[in-house]
Amino acid sequence: MSKIALIVGSTGLVGGEVLQLLLNSNQYSKVISLQRSSAFIAHSKLAVIQTDFTNLDEIILPDITDAFCCLGTTIKKAGSKAAFEKVDLEIPFALADRLIHANLQHYIVISSMGANPDSYFFYNKVKGNLEQKLAGLINIPAISILRPGLLIGNRAEKRLAEGVAITISRTIKKITGMQFGIESADVAKAMVHIAQARLGTGVQIYESKALKKLASM
């Protein structure tokens, strides 16, 4: 069967890695990237659709086998809590809901360690609310939620606090061999492995430790 993948967030830290893995995989005959920017890499399997994500119902899509949601921002970059919530909750949920009509088989989304709708921390609360809303989409056979820890990688944009934390994490790893964060490339590998192996139906949650293990398979 010809499998078609869809990805959002393909210009981001993890999304860029996921896109390359999908294009290099012989399991997918086509990869569709929904994105705001016009930037894309040339590849015979890649179809880029520019969108501001307000017109998802108007976008004509084929049946989608696996959808990868790698969207994520910060309140500072988004400009407000409301704008952050739109990127990290409203769009990921609206996309999943839209893809029900494209016969989506598996939705794989990046959440966060500590996600909890009752959390005191706004970031974790938003992620928890997303997970809760996705769990209500019973018409998608499989939903996989990834909860990575601190993402380690080379972002195009610099985040000061995150950069300091990554430096500390890499220093600790050199000294002790242990790392409290997770490489963005490992999250991407785990994400694609979960999709291709179809490790379960219904809602499955993968914490950072499990993601590191899956990345090595």
7-36 pLDDT, tens digit each: 999 999 999 999 999 999 999 999 999 999
Say whether pLDDT at 172 is over 80: no
Q: How far apart are CA 77 and CA 97, in angstroms?
A: 26
Say whether pLDDT at 176 is over 70: no
- Tell me the percentage of the chain whose pLDDT exceeds 90: 80
- For helices 122-134 and 91-99, what crossing angle results, to 10°? 10
DSSP assignments along 95-150, one per residue: HHHHHGGGT--EEEEE--TT--TT-SSHHHHHHHHHHHHHTT-TTSSEEEEEE--S
Say whether pLDDT at 170 is over 50: no
* Residue partners of 62: CB distance under 8 A and separation at least 6: 4, 30, 102
Average pLDDT score, the chain: 89
Q: How far apart are CA 194 and CA 213, in angstroms?
A: 11
Q: What is the mean pLDDT of residues 175-195?
A: 82
Provide the 8-state DSSP code for 79.
S
From the list 180, 192, 200, 181, the residue with the least C-alpha distance to 217 is 192
Q: What is the pLDDT of residue 212?
A: 95
Q: What is the pLDDT of residue 163?
A: 44
What pTM was computed for the model? Answer: 0.89
Q: Give the count of domains, the chain.
A: 1
Q: What is the pLDDT of residue 180?
A: 63
- Tell me the percentage of the chain whose pLDDT exceeds 70: 87
Q: What is the pLDDT of residue 30?
A: 97
Q: For residue 2, count CB atoms less than 10 angstroms from its CB and return exposed for 0-12, middle for 13-18, buried for 19 or more.
A: exposed
Say whether pLDDT at 109 is over 60: yes
Q: How far apart are CA 81 and CA 18, in angstroms?
A: 27
Residues of the domain holding 32: 3-215
Reading the block at residue 19, the tokens are: 């896109």
Q: How far apart are CA 20 and CA 15, in angstroms?
A: 9
Q: How far apart are CA 143 and CA 169, in angstroms?
A: 30
Reading the block at residue 120, the tokens are: 């005191």
Q: How far apart are CA 136 and CA 101, in angstroms?
A: 16
Say whether pLDDT at 150 is over 60: yes
- CB-CB contact of 120 with 84 (8 Å): no
Q: What is the pLDDT of residue 175?
A: 42
Banded model confidence at residue 121, pLDDT cuts 50, 70, 90: very high
From the list 85, 89, 42, the residue with the least C-alpha distance to 69 is 89
Read off the CATH number of the domain in which 189 is found.
3.40.50.720
Between 170 and 65, name the one with better pLDDT.
65
